Structure 1
């Protein structure tokens, strides 16, 4: 589950949006990742408790149902989660196509279609096969980031900023860019909450889920900071901010073999984010239909693969449509806003659930201040994203 969470978090984030965050925050882009991590941390703790209380598919919808008992709100939150996965997958498919385009001279629309269709077939194949594939690819994409960090640090001709400039904004103006970039950086952390949506298919969820959520957040934050610092020191910000395949720039002055090797790793890493979001979104749609919040047809499960076939097909179709219709930055920002709305609803649900009589000891519980701060930080980030 940690590999699953890292697969969608890391693949959907740093490989795709390193340049976009640098365009907003300049040399101080790593600080935006720290801000985003703080916002995510409180909600991650809320998810950790809710996961062991309600280990079911369609996690967020189940949490809101338990907290508010309002069918319209449950359905709205569930569909919002599915939509966030769909929009996120569309954004990542564009990043994957940009990396793949370094090797294959085909139009972006063709590459996006190929990537999404291939990942959709794997998701339809079966949950065991899908998660195993995602886990293997996750190891590859983490090795890719380690490769970037190691190579960038060893470069003798660094063309970026000095290390001292990165963490020392000297006026209020840089903080405006950091605030704006933190919304994009927040997108890079979208993924840990996906773990909640496969809880029904996990062994011993009450032990596994909280650990996986927190490990995903800690490891992803460390990787993001190390990678962003390395790239900013190695590559001029002007070039980094314009690139749709930003991490490739670290290898431009190297032997072609290393650039090709990393490009291949980047393609694998980014398509992984598409696969995991398809799995997540289809399980949300299935979970809502299984609880009669959506038409029964979406709860149909293939007799052969035991996967939600109709839900998976619809999710893949919507990803293809959005991937052709909107640019990557817009997709990432919309994803962040949808997820922040869901985070607010989930934290409020936990506050209401904690007011109910405790029927049993679930083994993990956070104080009420955690979801309260989770609401406040998510609202603050949502306001920044809109303004």
Structure 2
């Protein structure tokens, strides 16, 4: 065993990884909820939510160049607060949140797959989980290439939906728009913010990135920009082609968009939703294993996880533990409810990271990639407001 991960990732694969994490399966249901809040102005809500997430993304980009290592958030919090214990708690919370979130997505993906393949859901959960754990363990390059292929399939499907929606005849809500409901738009922005959680996964790959001080900031910001544009286009096509009340009431808003615009079945979207779920699960396994690898560097009782396989160059033991826990949670726990709580955990980490950035920048202003001093303050306010909103929604 070795304690060094292999640096095999470049800008393209890292950006595709970030886009895949952020787009995920959520876009297939989130559009309807956002249209229910913001109506015609749903595309604006998505784009403004991207701007709200931007300060935290910039903070992660700067801190990743200062401390380019696995379990980056642990390093950020540890240095900012001069507390190993606080960093350790945050890291364990991130591992738990990633595992539960991945379990929820795995169960959802197995449900979509079960509609296409006549196999009992528990067997599908185990089979999908084992395949993804194997891919994650075999190599980071193999994992990222697989994730990139899945991301291309996801994005291609969404662009096809956009094309038919923008080409279809406009709905009455588009030709005779209602006056904007600005409180509804504000509520939609808060909802959309959660769609951009995922850029933080990128910095946890830092020890496997070639030239991390140049590549990490670019990948984080590119992934955020691509995702914001994609969300904006999808929601624009939806509000143009489908009555807003129907979108808001539908559990399958993109399928409704396709069926309204083309008059044909949208069964292929179920297959794409499976790819999206698989991508999301793989991303969580890879991320949580890297955080566990980084924690092993700091805590003796976790030291067994700070090892990379000499051939594969991946933290195999950490990957196996995370994968096993994720599959077990998908089979046994009420993961839908627990997954909601992961958003609160991740937003609390965002708050701590922005505070840490403020303190670090005061002590050491110079950095390979540096953002203005007001940026972490803006990120702190945005994350704190989103945390309050999430606590109210899930409380």
Q: CA deviation at 1:319?
A: 2.5
Which of 323, 326, 329 matches 2:334? 326
Q: Deviation above 6 Å: which 4+ runs of structure 1?
A: none
Partner of 1:380: 385
Q: CA deviation at 1:183?
A: 4.6
Which of 152, 166, 172 matches 2:165? 152
Report the Cα distance in structure 2 between the residues aligned to 1:78 and 1:160, rounded to whole angstroms: 50
CA contact (8 A) 1:42 1:374 kept: yes
Partner of 1:367: 372
Unaligned runs of 5+ in 2: 1-13
1:13 paired to 2:26: yes
Which of 266, 272, 294 matches 2:273? 266
1:228 paired to 2:239: no
Partner of 1:170: 181
Which of 303, 309, 313 matches 1:302? 309
**Aligned counterparts, 1:282-361, within 5 A:** 282-292=289-299, 294-324=301-331, 325-326=333-334, 328=336, 330=337, 333-357=340-364, 361=366
Q: Sort the Cα spacing of 1:321 and 1:141 in 2 relative to 1 into closer, same or farther, 3 A.
A: same
Q: Deviations over 1:115-145 (max 9, x none)?
A: 3332222111211100111112212211111
Partner of 1:92: 105
Report the Cα distance in structure 2 between the residues aligned to 1:196 and 1:171, rounded to whole angstroms: 35
Q: CA deviation at 1:82?
A: 2.1
Partner of 2:8: none
Q: CA deviation at 1:357?
A: 3.9
TM-score normalised by the chain length of structure 2 = 0.85
Which of 66, 73, 83 matches 2:96? 83
CA contact (8 A) 1:87 1:334 kept: no
Report the Cα distance in structure 1 between the residues aligned to 2:177 and 2:102, rounded to whole angstroms: 34
Report the Cα distance in structure 1 between the residues aligned to 2:119 and 2:247, rounded to whole angstroms: 23
Corresponding residue SS for 2:205: helix
Which of 123, 129, 146 matches 1:133? 146
CA contact (8 A) 2:165 2:238 kept: yes
CA contact (8 A) 1:55 1:200 kept: yes
Corresponding residue SS for 1:162: helix
Question: Which deviates further from its counterpart, 371-380 or 31-40?
Answer: 31-40
CA contact (8 A) 1:183 1:336 kept: no
Q: Deviations over 1:138-159 (max 9, x none)?
A: 1221111111100122234x66
Unaligned runs of 5+ in 1: none
Q: CA deviation at 1:33?
A: 2.5
CA contact (8 A) 1:15 1:270 kept: no
Corresponding residue SS for 1:347: helix
**Aligned counterparts, 1:245-260, within 5 A:** 245-252=252-259, 254=262, 259-260=266-267
Q: Deviations over 1:297-339 (max 9, x none)?
A: 22243344232222212222333344353364x4553232111
Q: Sort the Cα spacing of 1:143 and 1:81 in 2 relative to 1 into closer, same or farther, 3 A.
A: same
Q: Sort the Cα spacing of 1:294 and 1:43 in 2 relative to 1 into closer, same or farther, 3 A.
A: farther
Report the Cα distance in structure 2 between the residues aligned to 1:203 and 1:82, rounded to whole angstroms: 24
Corresponding residue SS for 1:295: helix
Which of 210, 217, 220 matches 2:224? 217
